[in-house]
Amino acid sequence: MGSKSICPVDLKRIKISDSFWGREQELVRREVIPYQWEALNDRVSGAAPSWCMHNFRAAARLVKKKKAGGVAFKAPEYTFRGFEAVPEDPAHPDPDAFYGFVFQDTDLSKWIEAVAYTLTQHPDPELEKLADGAIDLVCAAQWENGYLDTYYIINGLDRAFTNLRDHHELYCMGHLIEGAVAYAQATGKRKLLDAACRFADYAVSCFGPGEGQKKGYPGHEIAEMALVRLYEATGHEQYLDLAKFFLDQRGTEPHYFAQEERERYLWEHGKNALLPPGLRETRPSDYIYSQAHMPVREQAEAVGHAVRAGYLYSGMADVARLTGERELLDACKRIWKNIVSEKLYITGGVGGTNYGESFSYPYDLPNNLAYSETCAAIALAFFARRMLEIEPRREYADVMELALYNTVLAGMALDGKSFFYVNPLEVDPAACHLDPRKGHVQPVRQKWFGCACCPPNLARIVSSIGAYAYTESADTLWVHLYMGSRVTKRVGDGELVLQVKTEFPWEGTVQMEIEAAPETACTLAFRIPGWSRGGRAEILRAGESRIVSWTDAGPSEDDSLVSFRDGYLYVYGVWQTGDGIRLTFPMEVRMVSANTRVREDAGKVAFTRGPITFCAEEADNGKNLHLIRVAPICRPEHVKVEMTETLGRPMAVLKIPAKRQLPSVGGLYIDYTPPVEEGATLTMIPYYAWANRGEGEMAVWIRI
Ligand code: FUB
Ligand code: ZN
């Protein structure tokens, strides 16, 4: 067994005071969490009902009836078939029926998880009481054997775990575990954790190599990483074993999903029924969608549903970290490399196609047809953070930062009141309304979604941002993301308290002070962002100042105080209260072109500065963004950076020398003449802030 040598710093030991992330966390606390609570209770007018709390209430009533010896409720059979159940008469839903998507329970688990993280930053007895009440209801809905998925509790437990491919029970278990561990760690209250353990124990009894145990695995991954988390929280090995079992089984032959589908068919049509051809013969490619087309250790390309994929890779990384298994780690690294070299948007999003909400083929990164689900960028950040726990390498933190500052945050409006599920890189609202191929692309954020996976996912990652900023081992603290915060690290019997002040992502200076120091040595490791060209560190120690600088070409010499490794600056030794470090990362505008294999971006450039990717909007540039091109003479140094306030938020805006082609007059096809252009200034705002000023065109990649 490997050891738990690097892990995120406990959120209770981090206080975020950052003007950027602190504001996002406040939005989650003040807007998203209360709003989501209303949504879970179907009290948001104009939004599709969630049915989430309705389902828990129905299941809890049934459990109570069962305990009292009453007759079990029998649901109509149709509910087994669909992915989503809707009442025949929406005005009069059956109080005992399950409604909504099969995974609707997860909305509440994610809400509880976000509440837990929020409570670590902002104690709130009222909110905690609300969550305690919700937890009571969840626990009341738990079946006597520990099973806890309202869809099957309501519709018939004889069918539990018979459709792992589609029906998300293990996904619900995974989210329940994540929420339960977070809540226990934040509040010290174990009620939900005990319920999650009972569900996990039941899963341990159902799945495994033993006789009579199912050999299956989740159709929608997350249970793998959740079980690892449960193992780390409780020390109970059986949870790690089950996570490993799920990974070991995935994609092996005979294919489990094919087997269970045949069994379902025979159950429904009689055991002597003739199987239709599609069920008799299946091909591995049938299971690409859920990354079950081959054993995980053989996988090298990120494929299938992008959220499922990111969660799987995160679980693989977790298990590889704990077991030290090389083969599994190598698979993680191959897949990582594949994502960042062929399948990653410049906004940190992944998932090029609407078809199956999936990764597309290499270099297929369409801008106006992008899927780039908010949850998929979150999953990528999960994967990156887990790779950092194995090997602190800048390449992981760079991508994590890109995803967090761009696609993840674009998922939420600046006022925290509406959300994107899909995050395109180019929008023409008319096309969204008129072209069914772009039906998945919304030009403005939505209040809520029937399938509301993204907003609560966003709430949980934003409220736990500290766990992405810092990881630690016994004697080292890694700073991966720079944000105003105060972090306390245990070192032996003492503590190191680091106060961080910065105006990231707008300025590349980070001022840090040691507010308390242990007697023993503690290494501080600072990420040197891949986007910075050179930089310097001023290290003030015991009244003596030392300046270390590095250039784009490489670091200065290592010595006993500092060294450079894998994109991190390591500073060693014993610290004293009052010591400090000032880091300066030049934050210059970069003009970026894509590999020529990305056909969509040929002849175009994108603009980035620090971790931020920029986009042009109609609100600043007028219509017809496709007729604007960056002036051919333009180089990064010609771009002006202006700090502005947009919707009450400070943000950098770029002013870029450009040309605007005048719209053509005449017919559809005319003899070619060089375009008539006028000089223009292109204004670009941070991508995460787009679509906050009504409906309009948007583009990240601009012709040059
Ligand atoms: O299937 C559960 C969640 O709903 C997925 O992660 C999202 O992509 C959405 O399909
Ligand atoms: Zn989502």
Please give the full DSSP string across 632-694, using - where no structure is assigned. TT--GGG-EEEEEEETTEEEEEEEEEEEEEPPP-S-SS----PPPEEEEEEEEEEGGG-S-SS
Ligand nearest to the CA of 166: 1
Note the pLDDT tens digit of each residue in 128-182. 999 999 999 999 999 999 999 999 999 999 999 999 999 999 999 999 999 999 9
Of 441, 422, 419, 418, nearest to 430 by C-alpha is: 441
Contact 477, 525 (CB under 8 A): yes
**CA 623 to ligand 2 centroid distance, Å:** 30
- Atom 6, ligand 1: residue with shortest CA distance: 307
- Atom 7, ligand 1: residue with shortest CA distance: 453
Residue 325, pLDDT > 90, answer: yes
Q: Please give the angle made by the CA atoms of 435, 440 and 445, to the nearest 5 degrees.
A: 115
* Alpha-carbon dihedral sign for residues 358, 364, 369, 375: positive
Residues annotated catalytic, as ranges:
357, 453
Note the pLDDT tens digit of each residue in 427-453. 999 999 999 999 999 999 998 888 889
Residue 1, pLDDT > 50, answer: no
Note the pLDDT tens digit of each residue in 34-66. 999 999 999 998 888 899 999 999 999 999 998
Q: Which two tokens stand for residue 476?
A: 């080292």
Distance of CA 200 to the CA centre of its chain: 23
Note the pLDDT tens digit of each residue in 247-297. 999 999 999 999 999 999 999 899 999 999 888 888 888 899 999 999 999
Note the pLDDT tens digit of each residue in 378-387. 999 999 999 9
pTM score, two decimals?
0.97
**CA 243 to ligand 1 centroid distance, Å:** 20
CA atoms of 375 and 378, how far apart (whole Å): 5
- Atom 4, ligand 1: residue with shortest CA distance: 453
**CA 455 to ligand 2 centroid distance, Å:** 7
The residue with greater pLDDT, 664 or 485, is 485
3-state class (DSSP) for residue 547: strand
CA distances for 115 relative to 36, 456, 461, angstroms: 11, 10, 11
Note the pLDDT tens digit of each residue in 417-429. 999 999 999 999 9
Q: What is the pLDDT of residue 47?
A: 84
Encoded amino acid at 569, one letter: L
Distance of CA 467 to the CA centre of its chain: 13
Q: Mutation test of ligand 1: which of 50, 101, 103 has the most ligand atoms closer than 8 Å to its C-beta?
A: 103
What are the E-state strand segments in 452-522?
Answer: 470-472, 476-479, 485-491, 494-502, 509-516
Note the pLDDT tens digit of each residue in 251-264. 999 999 999 999 99
Q: What are the φ/ψ torsions at residue 572 (nearest 5 degrees)?
A: -100, 170
- Atom 3, ligand 1: residue with shortest CA distance: 453
Contact 147, 69 (CB under 8 A): no
Ligand nearest to the CA of 378: 2
CA atoms of 590 and 370, how far apart (whole Å): 23
Q: What are the φ/ψ torsions at residue 500 (nearest 5 degrees)?
A: -115, 130
Of 467, 515, 473, nearest to 495 by C-alpha is: 515
Of 26, 53, 55, nearest to 37 by C-alpha is: 53
Of 416, 342, 371, 347, nearest to 699 by C-alpha is: 347
Q: What is the pLDDT of residue 531?
A: 97
CATH number 2.120.10 is the correct assignment for the domain at 474-584: no
Encoded amino acid at 695, one letter: E
CA distances for 518 relative to 86, 488, 526, angstroms: 59, 11, 19
Q: What is the pLDDT of residue 277?
A: 87
Question: Could you tell me which residues are beta bridge partners of residue 526?
Answer: 479, 569
Note the pLDDT tens digit of each residue in 543-565. 999 999 998 766 677 788 899 99
3-state class (DSSP) for residue 215: coil
Note the pLDDT tens digit of each residue in 173-185. 999 999 999 999 9
Distance of CA 452 to the CA centre of its chain: 14
Q: What is the pLDDT of residue 14?
A: 98
Other CB atoms within 10 A of residue 429 CB: 19
Beta strand 568-571 with 640-646: parallel, antiparallel or unpaired?
unpaired
CA atoms of 206 and 209, how far apart (whole Å): 10
Q: What is the pLDDT of residue 551?
A: 87
Other CB atoms within 10 A of residue 593 CB: 14
Q: What is the pLDDT of residue 48?
A: 82
Of 546, 538, 543, nearest to 583 by C-alpha is: 538
Ligand nearest to the CA of 458: 2
Listed in order, the ranges of the chain carrying CATH 2.60.40 are: 474-584
Q: What is the position in ligand 1's atom list of the atom closest to the CA of 454?
A: 7
Q: What is the pLDDT of residue 288?
A: 97
Ligand 1 binding pocket, CB closer than 6 Å: 103, 220, 307, 357, 373, 375, 451, 453
Of 383, 404, 398, nearest to 333 by C-alpha is: 383
Other CB atoms within 10 A of residue 1 CB: 8
**CA 226 to ligand 1 centroid distance, Å:** 17
Q: What are the φ/ψ torsions at residue 515 (nearest 5 degrees)?
A: -90, -25
